[in-house]
Amino acid sequence: MNQMIWVVLLPFLGSVVCLLVHRKLVFALAMAASLGTLAVAAGLVAHVWEHAGARVELGGWAAPLGIALQLDGLAALFLLLTAVVGVLVGIYAGSFFAQTSELRPMGIHFWPLWLLLWGGLNGVYLCSDAFNAYVLLEISTLAAVGLTVLSGSTASLVAGLRYLLAAMFGSLMYLLGVALLYAGTGQLDFVLLSRSLTPQVHVVTAFGLMVFGLLLKSALLPFHFWLPPAHASAPAPVSAILSALVVKASFFLLLKIWFVVFDSLSGEGPGKMPGQLLGFLGSLAVVWGSFQAVRQWRLKSLIAYSTVGQLGYLFFIFPVLSFSHSPPHEALAWGGTVFHLFSHGLAKASLFLAAGCLLRAMGTDDLHAMRDIAGRMPVITFSLGVAGVSLMGLPPSAGFVAKWMLLRAVLASGQWWWAPVIVLGGLLTAAYVFKILAYTFVPSQGDAVRLQPVSLAMTFVPLALAMLCVLIGFRADEVILLLPAVPGCEMSAGGGGGP
């Protein structure tokens, strides 16, 4: 299982190499590193599929001293999502940054930063102790902010700084929580921590601080203020990465903290309240974020607000699983959440990349300018439509599978009050998706913008992402079978089975 380290090391190495080599070699080397990472990630998924999880102690040092990597079903799925989106965005970016002389220098900086970010994300998925998670999350944040300000425009600089300040504040709150936990228990490893926690004041405070910090970084309403400007002002491939992957990493850590470390605390009694609170904030995010998206007239702002709304769906897992230990609907809640992560990641990447194509072709992303796009850029319109269908949660798509499982979990848990929110969110999503699509059907009356040519790679990558989003809707079985290896499931079911 030593290839586990490569999924982190390969992107890091690639990042360093890309900084050093001649600019003409950068794309080839970066793609080599990306494909290599994809291959390793696929190997890890296959390993989890065949043998369940694995744990590697780096350098042979055991847990309290050394650094361990922990692979489980959830981590494997995140690795896979990141690798698939990463490779496809990479192909797109190669063509995107070659378009004009303005964009070319950005491309030189894009690759090292993106590979650094990728390595950091993979590290977050695999690391098994609270402090390394902090470091890796910081690496990803710094790289992500670097990517945000890539274009150097004033808007992106301000958005990037706002993002950086919010993210650093979140990380520090998380670190403060880790410090409190360490002061109380002398442990950092997730599993060891979970065994030595008792409901005391400092533990509850630490829980609050860590959850707060991670919520800030995963942009749950009302901590979403930094996200829309940052995601809307970055270049298209960067927006895709930020929306599809980066916010999910903090959410991943939140899942681990909540369901592995603080399971005994959040599972009973007082755990109901924080669960309901997160569900409530998630509902607000779904409604408010989608509503704001409906109000936007710039395509990229619209998609960015849609991210705020869609992220809300991820938080229903907390109330749904907070009422009892290993409830019968546990697999449904996990499956629904993970499927939502997947469908949102793929669909949102597809939308941002398609928006990048439109921006390139039209010179603006104003919805009013999109006259007769359906006739003139059919592939892009089709991608927008298919990705939109998945966001709405309509069949046939992964988004439908996600909504289906989430709604069932919600109803089966008896917490029916989340069901109207899920349904309403779907309606609002339909409203903004069709707001985009309706404008593509308006015929031009001679006043349409002249379109710049868009390269084949840029045209078909969004389509590929959107089609993937539909296709994984047919493969729910595999994902659900992978998930029993989720640490949260094992922990709450067996009360702490080892790796």
Partner 1 sequence: MTFWLPLIVLFSSLVTGLIIFVLPEERSRLRTALNMAGASLKVAGVFLMAWGLLAHDVVYEVRFTMGLGFDFLLKVDLLSLAFVSLSSNLWFLTTLYAVGYLEGSPNRSRFFGFFSLCVTASTGVALAGNLITFFIFYEFLTLVTYPLVVHRGTPKALDAGRTYLWHAVTAGAVLFLAVVWLQVLSGPFDFIPGGALQSMEHLSRSDLTVIFALLIIGLGVKSALVPLHGWLPTAMIAPAPVSALLHAVAVVKAGAFGVMRVIFDVYGKDYASQLGVLDPLALVVVGTILFGSLRALMQEELKRRLAYSTVSQVSYIVLGAVALGPLATVGGLVHLVHQGIMKITLFFCAGILSEFLGIHRIDQMDGVGRRMPVTMALFSLAALGMIGVPPVAGFVSKWHLAQGGIQGGQEWVVAVLVVSSLLNAAYFLPILHACWFKAPAMDFGERNRQERGFITWREAPWTLMLPTLATALFSLAAGVFAGWEWSPLGVAEKIAAGRGGFP
Partner 2 sequence: MDLSMVMSTFFLYSLAAMLLVGMGIYGLLTRRHLLRKVMALNVIAGGVFLLLITTAYRNQEHFPDPVPQAMVLTGIVVAISATGFALALVRRIHQRMKDAKTDPFGEKWDRS
Binding interface with partner 2 (CB under 8 A): 65, 131, 134-135, 138, 141-142, 145-146, 149, 152, 154, 157-162, 164-165, 168-169, 172, 175-176, 179-180, 182-183, 186, 188, 224-225, 228-229, 232-233, 292, 296, 298, 301, 304
User: Residue 207's closest CA among 127, 122, 277, 311?
Assistant: 277
Give whichever of 44 and 133 is closer to partner 2, judged by the CB atom.
133
Give whichever of 91 and 145 is closer to partner 2, judged by the CB atom.
145
Give whichever of 186 and 395 is closer to partner 1, judged by the CB atom.
395
Residue 378 site contact among partner 2, partner 1, none (CB < 5 to 8 Å, cut-off depends on kind): partner 1
Residue 301 site contact among partner 2, partner 1, none (CB < 5 to 8 Å, cut-off depends on kind): partner 2
Q: What span, in angstroms and rounded, lies between the C-alpha atoms of 357 and 458? A: 7
CB of 231 to partner 2, least distance (A): 9
CB of 292 to partner 2, least distance (A): 6
Residue 211 site contact among partner 1, partner 2, none (CB < 5 to 8 Å, cut-off depends on kind): none
CB of 83 to partner 1, least distance (A): 23
Residue 228 site contact among partner 1, partner 2, none (CB < 5 to 8 Å, cut-off depends on kind): partner 2
Residues making contact with partner 1 (CB under 8 A):
372, 374-375, 378, 382, 389, 392, 394-396, 400-401, 403-405, 407-408, 411-412, 419, 423-424, 426-427, 430, 434, 437-438, 441-443, 474-481
CB of 184 to partner 2, least distance (A): 9
CB of 479 to partner 1, least distance (A): 8
Give whichever of 28 and 438 is closer to partner 1, judged by the CB atom.
438
> Among all chains, which residue has been given the structure tokens 């270049």?
235
Residue 169 site contact among partner 2, partner 1, none (CB < 5 to 8 Å, cut-off depends on kind): partner 2
CB of 197 to partner 1, least distance (A): 34
Q: Are 24 and 66 in contact (CB under 8 A)?
A: no
Give whichever of 102 and 478 is closer to partner 1, judged by the CB atom.
478
CB of 301 to partner 1, least distance (A): 21
Give whichever of 297 and 474 is closer to partner 1, judged by the CB atom.
474
Task: Record the tokens describing residue 485, joined without a space.
Answer: 């290896």
Residue 404 site contact among partner 1, partner 2, none (CB < 5 to 8 Å, cut-off depends on kind): partner 1
Task: Record the tokens describing residue 198, joined without a space.
Answer: 């008792």
Give whichever of 126 and 479 is closer to partner 1, judged by the CB atom.
479
Residue 400 site contact among partner 1, partner 2, none (CB < 5 to 8 Å, cut-off depends on kind): partner 1
Residue 180 site contact among partner 1, partner 2, none (CB < 5 to 8 Å, cut-off depends on kind): partner 2
Residue 145 site contact among partner 1, partner 2, none (CB < 5 to 8 Å, cut-off depends on kind): partner 2
CB of 483 to partner 1, least distance (A): 11
CB of 47 to partner 2, least distance (A): 30
